[in-house]
Structure 1
Amino acid sequence: MYGCRKVASEEFDLPLIDLQKLSSSNEAERQACINAITTASSEWGFFQVVKHGISGELVGRMRREQGKFFEMACERKSNCKTVNDCYTWHGSPNGSGSENKSWSQSLHLPLSTISCGGDHAIDQHFTSLRLVTEEFGAVMGKLALSLARILAEKLGQSLEFFSENSNERTSFVRLNHYPLCPLWPEVLGLVPHTDGDFLTILCQDQVGGLQLMKDCKWISIMPNPEAFIVNIGDLFQAWSNGVYKSVEHRVMSNPTAERHSTAFFFCPSYDTPIVTPMQPPLYKEFTLRQYMKQVEEDLKQTGRKTGLSRFHVENVAPNSCNNDCFS
């Protein structure tokens, strides 16, 4: 039943991977790092990375600009012409029960829009936010591409698919704010979902609240101030033919501490065919545009994101754990 979504969970450390070892002159050490990435992607769908090459100074600037944005009055954020379509306040049900409520704000920014000038960019009041988000997105895109290529190479597949179809121009940065929640514990910060991309890279503060589904149980992820969290998205699960797992996760609300996080979503173009090079295929060929349309229809009909099961060749999710736990 949905009530199990709110059961308290143990705290766990995700697999922690030192990416500096990818440049090691010791081949055994480099291969061990690659194996750690691919094993975590198969067994957990989530892992943490340190020594990723992204400066703490840039992360600090991103957090400061994010904080300034969410401190603004909702009216100012909502009425700004160029932010209006990207800013969302999740404070009301998107389904019939409390399990479908989220308590959070987000600013979802396509990098192609951020980098444009004039009327297509965030207006002059948000210039510093635009500039740091563009810089942050560019380095995150390079990190995501390098991880995607490692995962593809381990499967013996071409590395060019991600280079040709995914880059910082087709991806998104989402700034998240989870205010103090007066409806805790009945309302979640963010409802259970999987990510509809190839890879997500998350930079979070130390408040905590992220939980993921592991062995049909919710587990809490302990924040690590030095690490980014990486998780596999639905599109990568389909492309890898189920080898790498897109895992359901959620964010718990908090009545005493607000939480911030910044997520980078590594995506293809809307019309790039998502078709596995592996045989026999578990999924029908589809595009991100078709996937998003299906998600939108599912949310309207059921209040829940159904995810990849709609595209499975047997119309049955290859990993039934998530569905069975909540039936």
Structure 2
Amino acid sequence: MEKLITSCWSNFQSVPEDYIFPPESRPGNIRIPFNSSIPVIDLSEAQKDDRTNIIHKIIKAAQEFGFFQVINHGVSVNQMKETMNVFKEVFQMPDEYKQNLFSNDPSKPCKMFTSSINYDTEKVHLWRDNLRHHCYPLEKWQHLWPENPTTYRECVGDFSTEVKKLGSRIMNLIGEGLGLKYGYFDNDLTGSILLSVNHYPPCSEPSLTLGITKHSDPNLITILLQDDVSGLQVFKDGEWIAVEAIPHAFVINVGYQLQIISNGKLKSAEHRAVTNSDHARTTAAFFVAPSDDCKVEPAQAITDEQNPPIFKSFKYKEFNSHYFNKYADTDVVLKSYEAPKN
């Protein structure tokens, strides 16, 4: 087992050289002011007469930022707190236990690793440890999850069910905003959810390190649960803007699959995670994605002769494999999937 950064960060007097990014990739000044223009959307208004207005806000946010936050989303505050506490407990378990979870094997369905799966070949390591496993369909995966803390499987299982419901609500609102029939996404297009729990210990020199490098997500949408420590930054108009950790909110961002299905109307935004000198930070990203063999293509209802498809169709598992080969180069990920021009 590579030494988890969670277990050894406190032994470092300074940041080890293999965690220091080259000058052009460093975050530099991480104290970027929060950007109040990233929309915060009250989903309870969608139950009233404001459904059309909420849909408009979501589509506008997805077009302008690729990001928005949702409040009054139907998931209880207690459930959010309890689940976050369980996630934090996993990283506080004894090293002997975490060693049993540790793996750099991409095919292992539940694993903990440090930095990335490519630890042995990457030039610079990320200042994070990660727990990753599938959580939908629940009955297929739950028995493979960590056995400790003893509440993990039940707590995260119940929470995953609520996140799945929230994801369906958001996708139906987005689908309606794109002019698609209701329930367009209630099938294999949302047939998988992958959970990625990141833990970022305090870092003495956060201007030299990164928790996650700049990237866009490969999936449909990401539903992010944050603790009360900020660190998420979004790249917009050539600048990094910080996303505030709003209590009891979920951060939602557009992934590549939604950009493709919307035929480019919605954009997957580049983002990264920075570290913090004083506080550890834990986040849980639920990646709502198509099933492996699901065919993805621009929705026929929003393409015609005047608006031809700009992407070709493919199976999601093919895209996913390609994505991780080109992960660091967000400019070229989509190029292989562009439709030939007439």
Deviation of 1:164 after TM superposition, in Å, equals: 1.5
- For the aligned residue pairs, the C-alpha RMSD in angstroms reads 2.6
Whether 1:132 and 2:132 are equivalent positions in the alignment is no
**2:335 counterpart (305, 309, 323):** 309
Taking the aligned partners of 2:290 and 2:185, their CA distance within structure 1 comes to 8
SS at the partner of 2:148?
helix
SS at the partner of 2:166?
helix
Cα pair 1:180 1:254 within 8 Å, conserved = yes
With structure 2 as the length reference, what TM-score do the two structures score? 0.81
What pairs up with 1:202-217 in 2 under 5 angstroms?
202-217=224-239
Equivalent residue letter for 2:114: W
Cα pair 2:110 2:133 within 8 Å, conserved = no
Q: Would you tell me which structure has more helix in proportion to its own residues?
A: 1
**2:326 counterpart (273, 278, 298):** 298
Whether 1:47 and 2:71 are equivalent positions in the alignment is no
Partner of residue 105, structure 1? 129
What pairs up with 1:12-27 in 2 under 5 angstroms?
12-13=35-36, 14-24=38-48, 26=49
What pairs up with 1:136-215 in 2 under 5 angstroms?
136-167=159-190, 170-182=192-204, 184-215=206-237
Taking the aligned partners of 2:222 and 2:291, their CA distance within structure 1 comes to 16
Runs of 4+ in 1 over 4 A off after TM superposition: 81-85, 91-94, 303-306
**2:260 counterpart (224, 238, 263):** 238
Taking the aligned partners of 1:308 and 1:147, their CA distance within structure 2 comes to 24
Structure 1: tracts of 5 or more residues without a match: 316-327
Cα pair 2:189 2:296 within 8 Å, conserved = no
Percent of residue pairs bearing the same amino acid type: 28
Partner of residue 226, structure 1? 248
Q: Residue by residue, what CA displacement relative to the aligned partner does 1:220-266 show, whole Å, maximum 9, x if unpaired?
A: 11221132111111100010011111000000012221101111111
Deviation of 1:123 after TM superposition, in Å, equals: 5.2
Aligned residues: 304
Equivalent residue letter for 1:273: K
Deviation of 1:79 after TM superposition, in Å, equals: 1.4
Partner of residue 281, structure 1? 309
Q: 1:273 to 1:61 in 2, by over 3 A?
A: same
Equivalent residue letter for 1:214: K
Deviation of 1:108 after TM superposition, in Å, equals: 1.3
Structure 2: tracts of 5 or more residues without a match: 1-21
Q: 1:5 to 1:236 in 2, by over 3 A?
A: farther
SS at the partner of 1:131?
helix
Partner of residue 262, structure 1? 284
* Most deviating of 129-138 and 306-315: 306-315
Q: 1:4 to 1:109 in 2, by over 3 A?
A: closer
Taking the aligned partners of 1:225 and 1:308, their CA distance within structure 2 comes to 34
Equivalent residue letter for 1:272: C
Deviation of 1:104 after TM superposition, in Å, equals: 0.8
Q: 1:234 to 1:75 in 2, by over 3 A?
A: farther
Cα pair 2:134 2:193 within 8 Å, conserved = yes
* Most deviating of 76-85 and 285-294: 76-85
SS at the partner of 1:161?
coil
